[in-house]
Structure 1
Amino acid sequence: CAGQSTSLSASGASTYAWSSGGSGTPISITPGSSTTYTVTGTSAAGCTGTATISVTVNPLPIVTVNAVPTAICAGESTTLTASGANSYTWNLGSTATSFSDNPIVTTTYSVTGTSLGCTGTASTTVTVNPLPTITATASPNAICVGFSSTISASGGYSYSWNNGSTSTSFSESPLASTSYVVTGTDVNGCTGTASVFVTLMPGLTVSITPPVDNICEGESVSLVASSPGLGVGYTWDSGQNTATINISPSATTTYTVTGTDAQGCSGTADAVINVNPLPIIQFSGEPLSGCLPLNVDFTDMSTGNIAFWNWSFGDGDYSGVQNPSHTYNTGGSYSVTLVATTDYGCVDSLTFNNYINAMTLPIASFIADPPLTTEDAPTILFIDQSIGATQWEWEFGDGGTGSVVQNPSYTYLGAGEYWVTLLVTNAVGCVDSTEALITIKPTYTFYIPNTFSPNNDNRNEEFRPFGMGWDVDFYEMRIYNRWGQLIFTTTDVNKGWNGNFNGLPVEEGVYTIKAQVRALDGKAHNYIQSINLIR
């Protein structure tokens, strides 16, 4: 092979001379190309002879090696191909003309090619470029509905995102939690991937307690905002920044609160506060003053959807009707209050101080001196004992002329019972009256007949006393025969003795009567007298 040496040996002579200039045998030659060598041999006798030999010089094979590609990215493969020889031996042990390899670092590949026993070598280096370290970030990586996140990549020269973007950074407002995947390519064409997950947080749930409320004009109510979220702050459309607010709207109002949590997510809630009007209260009374008992008719003149009325008349009495009547029985000035409640429960009141003036009556009273008399002394002095009276009017009950003096005397013309009436008036014109029964008793008389004849001739058939001026409730009569036997008794002034004893007529003769009676002046009288029974 070109560049190699070989030995040429001659024989049959003593000395040798070679055409290449050498002498002796053997000689070493390194022909540059195929050459015919001649050797002249000289024997000891001086005789010469020649011989030739051709040495063929085979050229070394020109071996080349190609790597496609010569620069790869980590994890990729390259194809190595040798040429210029008949067979090959690679430093990796392969004897194939071409093969693929996946080097993990930059590698030099060498190959020895053999043709006609001659070899040639070649080598090539395959550069293994590391994959770029691609980083994907999201700022923020958790967002609320309607918010956006900035998605960014680094570590590469160019980028391709799974949403089609080729920008290094872009803003996105996903409708759901989303994974963003980016492929980054460096200047060597090597690629790396990275991903980032953007969490879409649900909207913040906010509520207000109470969500609807009815209040009355002038009242206040507390609204309390709440949320299951953590670290939630609240802002009301009325300007407050607390969870609880106290409000006193003058008209029906909708209040809105916005709650914002630590991630910036927010939610809103509304509360409607219905403001119901108070009743407009007015009333009148008729009459506003007068004498006892003073009956006043009250008239409600209030406006509004009134469902309940509560009257306080100032004397401890109350009423729940709309237009009550009330009677004052004690003198004085009274303040009247009406409390009205609407169908929504709104309450207002009106008080008229010292509205009713109930004037006290005089108290009519008198005594008679004497309270009981007889026809023998028919004059009675009437003594006024009234309280608060300034005028007096007397009626003495017998149809005669009355009197207007305070303490009159009056003489009755006959026995009887007379109702005396006193009507008194005080300084404000209030009146009172009283009456008392005056009794003029007849003059006391008690007569006992001395004879009677019960003989069925319808004349003088029954024995009994008679008279006037005595108390019939305090009377007793007893009749005894001559032997002192009680044969008749009675306490009834209208019951006489018919001359019988035990249902049989008694005989003619003298009988004794004992009577007890009390006059109307209270004096008791006892009588014992004999009577004759004649048939």
Structure 2
Amino acid sequence: NGKLIATHHKDYQFTVYDCERTVLADIPPLFNDCKSFTINFPDNSTTGKTYLWNFGDGDTSTAYTPAHTYADTGTYNLWLKVDPTSSCGDSIGAVAKIYPGLNTNFSHSGNCLQFPTGFQNLSSLNKNYDSINALQWNFGVPGNFTDTSSQENPSYHYSSPAIYPVTLTVMTEKGCEQTDTQSLNIYDKPPISLSPGDTDMCYKDQLQLNASSTLGGSYSWQPAYNIIGQNAASPTVYPRTDTTYYVTFTDNEKCVNTDSVHLRVKNKLLINAGNDTTICKGDPVFLNGTSNDQYAITWYDNAHQVVAKTLQAQTVPMQNETYTLEATLGTCIADTFMNTRVVPYPVPYAAPDTTICYGDKIQLRGGGGSFYQWFPGSSLSDSIIASPIASPKDTTIYTLTVTDTLGCPKPVDTSVLVGVIPPVPAFAGNDTIITTGQTFQLQATGGNKYLWSPATGLSDPNIPNPLVTGNKDVEYVVKVSIEPEGCYAYDSLHVRYIIGPDIYVPTAFTPNGDGMNDIFRPIPVGIRRIDYFRVYNRWGQLVFQTTQYMKGWNGTFNGKPCDEGGYVWMVKGEDYEGHSIVKKGTVLLIR
């Protein structure tokens, strides 16, 4: 009666641990789809840990995502512990409804936008221990929150064609809940396909048209012109003029759709094979046919072998060919042709491959065509004739381009090699002075064949190094040849005889740059070696010295011209018998 009867106290002891939680237990709170005694439990908990499941019926598991089969119906309280031996683990509980046998399903009738769509609940369950408590339909219209129903078999009228996700959720007395989702295609016109599409046909032929739909219904064709099976899905037509046939399809829900096919009736196939042509042998010929529409195309050669099946193609004929272009459309056939003339390439020639001496000329010979072009042309007398005169300075490859007017019009190249032997470096030797009565050996270089003239005083005029003996000044000319090419050149030397052996020294010189007496040098006669030649000024200063044969002083000292006046010279040499000759004197420098 509102009066305190007693007071009872109970103590609780809590142990608080200093830890940071690093694990999470995470599973759905309710398992109630009621499909089976077995549940495959999902797990979103922290991975890589230890787990302990208690399924509420006395059974346990340490798997991460276990499957468990319950022995009997009922509602079970289960829980999951993650890291159960740790003071910082985590746990979570859930409820499992085990009333198997629920199967949510539905069907529908009517996909046409013009009429409402009916839905039928086909769901079932085990009525021995459960019954349906509620239904929830959602007809899948985006942004519409009134497209729902809780009726057993509702209907819904859609406002626009689309594919809608329709769901039915079934809830039972035991707390089971299950959803079925199906895609519903609402169309404003029933689907229809038609083959062939717009096409060409021969005026003599028949053609079968084919209409089809994924739905049941009836077909009707218009116009009724030259058609067999006007109310069939696949009638046969045989129009004689261009005609458009229309098919009307009415499905079993009385929804209507229409499609059409346009038939272009051909009385004549217009094709063109192109112009006759001439090609060079080995080159491709380009087949370039044209037509006034799309037909089945075939090219044939002379042997009626198929060359191609397209209007544009290419092939390589090895002889004259007539290519036939054939077009077919049903039983209509048309053909035309083009002629291809195959002509050989020009066969050019150029000659001769040869070798000439430097400065010589050679006539080249070309042929095999009507027009010629030589390259390079700078060393030719005429670069556009068949046989020009060539005057190359170096070894040259001349390329000849030949073009013919009688056969293949394409240019063809050939070439010829003209080797040029460089100028013969004929050298007879330096002019020399010989002691009267002394024998002296000449030494020519530059080739492999020699001829000296005159032969007077020579031991052999046909060798490079004959011995010469005489007492009269003479100029020898040597012809130096390179065999077997026969290239040659001339050189000469002057031999002067003076009483000796001795060293002759001029008494004056004029180093003024006029090319006469500009160098003061000793003139050795019968002397094979100069030991020294020295020049001193009036103060005894050495202004020039040399040991070179026929080397002289140009009248300068340290790069500057010396003064006019007298200078002292000294010379020492050795004659061909090994005797030393020493001489000294003065020379007058005149400017």
**TM-score exceeds 0.5:** no
More strand by share: 1
* Structure of larger gyration radius: 1
Normalising by structure 1, we get a TM-score of 0.38
